[in-house]
Amino acid sequence: MSTTSYAFPIVSIGGLPTASITRTALAQCMAQDCASAREQPDTWLPRVVFSSNGQGIALVGRDEDFARTMLQADIIHADGMPVVFASRLTANPLPERIATTDFFHDAARIAEEKGLRFYMLGATSAQNATAIAAIRASYPDLQIVGSHDGYFGDDQDAEICENIRNSGADVVWVALGKPRQEHWSIRNRSRLQGVGWIKTCGGLYSFLAGDAPRAPSWMQAAGLEWLYRAAKEPTRLGWRYLTTNPYSLYRLLRYTK
């Protein structure tokens, strides 16, 4: 594995070691790691990059297996504004929120520039295909070298990973939902030797496909995107936020330092 190191500070927020970094710098880290992976494909293990939000912070406190998985990531970035707000209690406040739905565009632009190749894993076949079509429309020079839906069992992991490696992908976007996507990424890391990054991305494909609209910018800045999403999908998301938000707030206050 490469000895590439990162220069940004790490801050403990809600019990998770969180990168104090900008979206632009994170995209540059991706490009740097992918270049290193291409130089040493026989020894490089992919960097695993997770995100931290209210749901994940609550799950860390309730599920020891998930907590152990999260701590095996190379980078954890703040995907929720409450994480950014909590960081202001520390010596290294986060410079900004890095929502994966926004970061993808930074990653796509630098991938076009550097000739990096993406593999899109997860969601339904139809949503995956629609998301890819939208990506290609926005980034015509971006190389998407493979895809697979998220409806597969653990017994198919080896086959899927072989397909990813054979595709020549530099970055694998894993949209399997928490906690499955994080467990999948760590469990299959060694099978993806030579790939630069494994990046979890939750509901990214639904946003790219146009199935899930983003909240207004003022709600995002105020940390209220969860409320917008709950109002749009009360049956699916209402109970989740009601049960996770109070506990994640407690953990943000108790385990941020």
Res. 3: pLDDT tops 60: no
What is the tens place of the pLDDT at every residue in 208-237? 998 877 778 887 887 777 776 777 777 777
Alpha-carbon distance values, 85 to 15, 223, 224 (Å): 15, 9, 12
Q: What is the DSSP letter of 201?
A: -
The Cα 135–Cα 143 span in angstroms is: 10
CA-based diameter of the chain, in Å? Answer: 48
Judge contact between 74 and 224, C-beta under 8 A.
no
- Model pLDDT, residue 4: 52
Q: What does the alpha-carbon distance between residue 182 and residue 201 come to, in Å, rounded to a whole number? A: 10
Q: Which of 117, 168, 164 is nearest to 139 (CA)?
A: 117
Structure confidence by residue, pLDDT tens digits, 52-96: 999 999 999 999 999 999 999 999 999 999 999 999 999 889 999
pTM of the model: 0.93
**ω into residue 41 within 30 of 0, thus cis?**
no
Domain boundaries, the chain: 10-254
What integer pLDDT is reported at residue 223 of this predicted model? 77
DSSP secondary structure code for residue 174 in this structure: E
Q: Where do we find the tokens 């595709």?
A: 167
Q: Which has the closest alpha carbon to 50: 22, 68, 15, 74?
A: 74
Residue 196, pLDDT > 90, answer yes
Distance CA 22, CA 98 (A): 7
| Average of per-residue pLDDT across 241-255 | 90
Secondary structure (3-state) at 143: strand
Given a cut of 50, whether residue 2 has pLDDT beyond it is: no
- Tell me if residue 254 falls in helix, strand or coil: helix
Residues 198, 73: Cα–Cα separation, whole Å: 10
The terminus-to-terminus CA distance of the chain in angstroms comes to 31
Does residue 189 surpass a pLDDT of 70?
yes
Those residues whose C-beta lies under 8 Å from the C-beta of residue 156, and which sit 6 or more positions away, are: none
* Res. 192: pLDDT tops 60: yes
Average pLDDT over residues 188-205: 97
Listed residue (60, 72, 50, 67) closest to 202, CA to CA: 50
What pLDDT shows up at residue 80?
Answer: 92
Identify the pLDDT of residue 37.
Answer: 98
CB 123 within 8 A of CB 174: no
**Measured between alpha carbons, how far is 84 from 94 in angstroms, rounded to an integer?**
6
Mean pLDDT of 23-39: 97
Position 136 scores a pLDDT of 98
Model confidence over 132-187: pLDDT tens digits? 999 999 999 999 999 999 999 999 999 999 999 999 999 999 999 999 999 999 99
Reply yes or no on whether the pLDDT at 117 is more than 50: yes
